[in-house]
């Protein structure tokens, strides 16, 4: 099985979380996708369907976990993302060609924040990001069902944790 090497602390946190017992989806059974572009539908309707141009404009979700527990973790187009990383342009081409990457799947949307990012802005930016990503993801993949939102962080703040609890966002503190 191929996993990308972490480039920085952000990637270390993300990959550590996916392989930990904290993850809501088993990395052995469920595929995880990194840097998933969102906003494709809206941008394509406004700027056309040039994948290179769209990849420069899209927002990116840190990770999307696909719940396939109890089923074979191989997607319709032949492999799981856990076998190799998938480029942003490839995701966009999949959407443009209507390939069923996330169609009729249950997914988790995960945002990752390092200690440095939390010290600067608390959990507030991450809270806004997960809701924005959820909205754009559901627009791009209408048959997919977002079953969970989560923030993986090294540290957090009390008010942010309270807001996440009230909003139904899971927080995982990883060191």
| 65: in domain | yes
Residue in the block written with tokens 């807001």: 163
Calpha distance 108→155 (Å, rounded): 21
- How many domains does one find in the chain? 1
Average pLDDT over residues 12-38: 81
Calpha distance 122→142 (Å, rounded): 31
| 164: in domain | yes
- Can you name the residues that pair with 148 across neighbouring β-strands? 108
| 3: in domain | no
Q: Kindly report the CATH number assigned to the domain that includes residue 107.
A: 3.40.1350
| 50: in domain | yes
Taking only the tens place, the pLDDT of each residue in 41-86 is 999 999 999 888 898 999 999 999 888 765 444 444 344 444 445 6
| 36: in domain | yes
Average pLDDT over residues 142-152: 95
Average pLDDT over residues 128-134: 97
Average pLDDT over residues 20-34: 75
Average pLDDT over residues 15-38: 80
Residue 41 belongs to domain spanning: 9-69+82-173
pLDDT at 135: 98
Phi and psi, residue 63, nearest 5°: -155, 145
Q: How many CA atoms lie within 13 A of 97 on its CB side?
A: 10
Calpha distance 173→155 (Å, rounded): 6
Instruction: pLDDT band for 20, please (50, 70, 90 cuts).
Output: confident
Question: What is the torsion angle, in degrees rounded to the nearest 10, for the CA atoms of residue 120, residue 124, residue 129 and residue 130?
Answer: 130
Calpha distance 155→123 (Å, rounded): 9
């Amino acid at each position: 099985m191929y996993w990308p090497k972490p480039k920085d602390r952000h990637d270390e946190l993300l990959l550590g979380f996916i392989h930990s017992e904290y993850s809501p989806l088993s990395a052995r059974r469920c595929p995880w996708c990194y840097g998933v572009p969102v906003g494709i539908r809206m941008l394509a309707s406004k700027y056309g369907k040039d994948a290179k141009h769209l990849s420069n404009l899209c927002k990116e979700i840190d990770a999307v976990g696909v719940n396939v527990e109890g089923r074979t973790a191989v997607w319709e187009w032949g492999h799981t993302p856990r076998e190799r990383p998938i480029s942003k342009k490839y995701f966009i081409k999949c959407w443009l060609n209507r390939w069923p990457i996330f169609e009729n799947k249950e997914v988790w949307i995960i945002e990752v924040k390092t200690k440095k990012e939390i010290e600067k802005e608390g959990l507030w930016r991450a809270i806004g990001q997960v809701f924005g990503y959820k909205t754009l993801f559901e627009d791009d993949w209408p048959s997919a069902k977002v079953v969970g939102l989560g923030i993986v962080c090294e540290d957090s703040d009390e008010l942010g944790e309270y807001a996440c609890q009230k909003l139904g966002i899971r927080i995982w503190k990883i060191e």
